[in-house]
């Protein structure tokens, strides 16, 4: 199996990172099909190892209980948000993850500031919160459809043209504040092409078991494709920050996109580098005292500490495996030499 080092993951996702302060224009700057053959092969390798790595880091995140992770997923329809979420979820303990899907705001939501409903869904420390759509809709769908903004109950004089700049700043500030509180962001834009979206819509129409995924509204939104590309470009240009950078994930190839998304999440966890809490001398002494007590309760004939016996056996088995493995490799080498000579 491939050795998945933090450095390798960082290099793999680097091309997808939006440099803070850079001006992004879609689709010019990020190719939805931008999966070089080489990185495709790499993605396959990373797949299996990546899921295991995520699980390990999640365990540490939960044990340390200081940091939380917010995974933000934004995309056009049919870009593969749901599939990406189930893929990432396949590698983690469901107890430590909450998925929140944000739809059209309720009237209770509208009675509050626009970040209110998202703040309520932030993960606890030690957990991962996945946002299937997010507060970024407030500068995407709301921007593309001015009637949505018109219906928001904001004081009218605060709905001027400078509202988007202000919202970008508010979002950056909010993410900065949360970062300072120990919450880290993994923000991903699944970048699907217009033609691939057309293909996926058609498959939702033509394949009966996918019909449920298609809504007539989806093709209506498709008519606003260019407006969305522009709005996304603005979002990426204005809200990729050193504390919460965006990643633009090529999404025309579904398996690749899933691996890349998992890699971005893994990278975020690696940067946190959560550690198991250290057991202090007092706690160690308490463990020893409990051990002695449990050993005293062994029934007649049983080993006082059967786990200690098991661990010793395992260690011994591992040691022999290592030496016989080496011997086997040596004899293989010798045979190969003999065959050559
Ligand atoms: P889906 O995720 O496909 O089930 O669709 C959810 C719908 O809710 C999409 O059409 C979004 O554009 C819409 N939506 C999500 N957040 C907001 C928001 N803050 N304001 C208005 N519409 C939203
Ligand atoms: Mg939809």
Say yes or no to pLDDT of 91 above 90: no
Whether pLDDT at 294 is above 90: yes
Ligand nearest to the CA of 219: 2
Average pLDDT taken over every residue of the chain: 92
The number of the ligand nearest the C-alpha atom of 141 reads 1
| Any ligand 1 atom below 6 A from CB of 105 | yes
Q: What is the pLDDT of residues 177-197, one digit of tens each?
A: 999 999 999 999 999 999 999
Asked whether 238 and 171 are in contact (CB, 8 A), the reply is no
What does the pLDDT look like over 104-144, one tens digit per residue? 999 999 999 999 999 999 999 999 999 999 999 999 999 99
**What proportion of the chain, given as a percentage, has pLDDT over 70?**
93
Number of residues assigned to the chain: 341
Residue from 76, 103, 113, 150 whose mutation best tests the ligand 1 pocket (most atoms within 8 A of CB): 103
Inform me whether the pLDDT recorded for 258 exceeds 60: yes
CB of 143 within 6 A of ligand 1: the answer is no
d(CA 223, CA 76): 12
Predicted local confidence at residue 292, as pLDDT: 96
| Rounded CA separation 80/255 (Å) | 10
Say if ligand 1 is within 6 A of residue 62 CB: no
pLDDT band of 322, cuts 50, 70, 90: confident
Q: Which residue's structure tokens are 């948000």? A: 81
Ligand at minimal distance from the CA of 73 is: 1
User: Rounded CA gap, 244 and 134, in Å?
Assistant: 14
Ligand 1 close to Cβ of residue 223 (< 6 A):
no
Q: What is the pLDDT of residue 115?
A: 98
Report the nearest-CA residue for atom 3 of ligand 1. 77
Q: Which of 104, 151, 154, 228 to mutate to test the pocket of ligand 1 (most atoms within 8 A of CB)?
A: 104
pLDDT by residue (tens digit) across 144-166? Answer: 999 999 999 999 999 998 999 99
Mutate to test the pocket of ligand 1, among 75, 78, 99, 102 (most ligand atoms within 8 A of CB): 102
Give the number of the atom of ligand 1 that is nearest the alpha carbon of residue 217: 10
Q: Averaged over 272-278, what is the pLDDT? A: 95
Kindly tell me if the per-residue pLDDT of 333 is higher than 90: no
Hey, is 132 helix, strand or coil?
A: strand
* The two structure tokens encoding residue 263: 């890699």
Q: Are 30 and 24 in contact (CB under 8 A)?
A: yes
240's CB contacts (< 8 A; 6+ apart) are 17, 18, 19, 20, 21, 22, 24, 187, 246
Closest residue by Cα to atom 9, ligand 1, is 103
∠ CA 225-153-114, nearest 5°, is 65
Say how many C-beta atoms besides its own lie within 10 A of residue 330's C-beta: 10
For residue 141, the ligand 1 atom closest to its alpha carbon is: 12
- Distance, CA of 247 to chain centre: 11
Q: What is the predicted pLDDT for the residue at 324?
A: 78
What residues are neighbours of ligand 2 (ion), with CB under 5 Å? 77
Enumerate residues 6+ apart whose C-beta is below 8 A from 294: 305
Distance (Å, rounded) from C-alpha 250 to C-alpha 263? Answer: 13
Is cis: bond before 293, omega within 30 of 0?
no
Query: Which candidate, 28, 83, 56, places its Cα nearest to that of 260?
Result: 83
What is the residue whose two structure tokens read 């390990």? 56
Task: Give the model confidence (pLDDT) of 22-69 as tens digits.
Answer: 999 999 999 999 876 667 777 777 777 788 889 999 999 999 999 999
The alpha helices in 95-162, defined as continuous H runs, are: 107-110, 116-119, 141-144, 146-151
Shortest-distance atom of ligand 1 to CA 138: 19
Q: Is 149 in the pocket of ligand 1 (CB under 6 A)?
A: no
204 lines ligand 1 (CB under 6 A): no
What radius of gyration do the chain's Cα atoms show?
Answer: 26
């Amino acid at each position: 199996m491939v050795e998945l080092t933090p450095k390798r993951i960082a290099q793999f996702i680097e091309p997808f990172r939006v440099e803070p302060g850079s001006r992004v224009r879609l689709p010019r700057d990020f190719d939805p099909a931008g999966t070089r053959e080489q990185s495709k092969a790499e993605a396959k390798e990373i797949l299996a190892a990546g899921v295991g790595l995520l699980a390990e880091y999640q365990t540490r995140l939960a044990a340390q209980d200081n940091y939380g992770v917010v995974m933000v997923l934004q995309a056009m329809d049919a870009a593969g948000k749901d599939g990406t979420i189930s893929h990432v979820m396949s590698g983690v303990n469901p107890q430590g993850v909450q998925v929140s899907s944000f739809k059209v705001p309720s009237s209770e939501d509208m009675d509050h500031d626009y970040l209110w409903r998202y703040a309520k869904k932030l993960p606890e420390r030690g957990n991962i919160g996945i946002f299937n759509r997010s507060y970024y809709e407030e500068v995407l769908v709301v921007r593309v459809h001015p009637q949505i903004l018109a219906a928001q109950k904001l004081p009218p004089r605060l709905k001027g043209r400078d509202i988007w700049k202000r919202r970008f700043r508010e979002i950056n500030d909010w993410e900065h504040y949360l970062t300072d509180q120990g919450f880290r962001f993994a923000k991903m834009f699944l970048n699907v092409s217009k033609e691939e979206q057309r293909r996926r819509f058609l498959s939702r129409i033509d394949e009966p078991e996918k019909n449920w995924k298609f809504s007539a509204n989806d093709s209506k939104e498709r008519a606003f494709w260019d407006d969305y590309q522009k709005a996304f470009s603005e979002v990426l240009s204005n809200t990729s920050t050193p504390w919460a950078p965006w990643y633009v994930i090529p999404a025309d190839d579904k398996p690749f996109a899933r691996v890349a998304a998992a890699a971005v999440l893994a990278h975020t966890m690696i940067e946190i580098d959560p550690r198991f809490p250290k057991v202090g001398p007092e706690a160690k002494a308490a463990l020893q005292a409990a051990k002695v007590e449990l050993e005293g309760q062994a029934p007649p004939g049983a080993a006082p500490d059967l786990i200690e016996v098991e661990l010793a056996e395992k260690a011994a088995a591992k040691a022999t495996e290592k030496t016989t493995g080496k011997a086997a490799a040596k004899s293989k080498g010798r045979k190969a030499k003999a065959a050559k000579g």
